[in-house]
Amino acid sequence: MIALVRPISERFAEAITRSPGPPPDLARARAEHAAYVAALTGLVERVIHLPRADDQPDACFVEDMVVVADGQALLGRSGARGRRAEQRAVLEALPGHLVVHALPAGALLDGGDVMRVADRIYVGLSERTNAAGFQAIEALFGPRGLDVRAVRVRDALHLKCHCSSPGRDVVLLTEGFLDPTVFDGLQLALIPPSEAWGANVVGVGDQVLMAEGHPSVRAALNAHDFDPIPLQASEIAKADGSLTCLSILVD
């Protein structure tokens, strides 16, 4: 497994946010990011560090720029126009074995709306991802044997804001966030809304990075025989970021 990460911009306090309250503190956000990268470095074979982009406040959220699965890389096109310039450095850093695809005109797609679980890919229809974005995922991965399903996202930026898969066929889902029947046949762990932000985790094998302070998430991970690695992510969250957003994982 290879991970791509990008440092926190000098202008991180200007990152797009729907969260009320004070902007993130740059030094603390950088400390959180450094701990995240250190933890990930211990789990993957190689970490590719993209150059810092001080003119791009959201550049650390590399996940949104591309969807990678089964040797394919589909470049996204964010519904947030101001973030599109972040993609060039991501494209240049992608490992050479990936086959790179572009979206058709009119399609919008943020990686934060795409969740792979077992042989399925869920695509959130959100402010950032439209039906044409979903159709592009379906056209690319459907013929490769993956079951691609669309889910409507309300009251959140992205699909993975309040749900994610730590690995295998397990899904952490915040209660009330989505219709749970779309996850038929998978192992669903319901997380209370008070811990919604914690339902976004990053799994590598049985090790799972999680945001600290979410006891139900930790208990669900333990119950499914994963090893939680808690990390502080409260400043990242002030920019509407969670753990998956901070890396691109490539098999």
Active-site annotation, residues: 158, 245
Binding ligand CIR by CB under 6 A: which of 86, 195, 235, 240? 240
Q: Which residues contact 247 (CB under 8 A, 6 or more apart)?
A: 3, 4, 5, 36, 40, 62, 63, 202
Q: Does residue 86 bind ligand CIR (CB under 6 A)?
A: no
Structure tokens at 187: 């192992």
Q: Does residue 58 bind ligand CIR (CB under 6 A)?
A: yes
Give residues 142-181 in contact with ligand CIR (rule: CB under 6 A): 157-158, 160-161
Q: Does residue 245 bind ligand CIR (CB under 6 A)?
A: yes
Q: Measured from the CB atom, is 193 or 223 closer to ligand CIR?
A: 193
Q: How far is Cα 26 from Cα 10, in angstroms, rounded to an integer?
A: 7
Tell me the sheet residues that pair with 173: 163, 190
Q: How far is Cα 91 from Cα 122, in angstroms, rounded to an integer?
A: 23
Q: Does residue 112 bind ligand CIR (CB under 6 A)?
A: yes
Residue 115 CA, chain-centre distance (Å), reads 8
Which among 164, 188, 192 is positioned nearest to 176, based on CA atoms? 192
Q: Does residue 235 bind ligand CIR (CB under 6 A)?
A: no
Q: Does residue 26 bind ligand CIR (CB under 6 A)?
A: no
Q: Does residue 247 bind ligand CIR (CB under 6 A)?
A: no
**Which residues here bind ligand CIR, judged by CB under 6 A?**
15-17, 58, 61, 63-64, 80, 83, 111-112, 157-158, 160-161, 239-242, 244-245
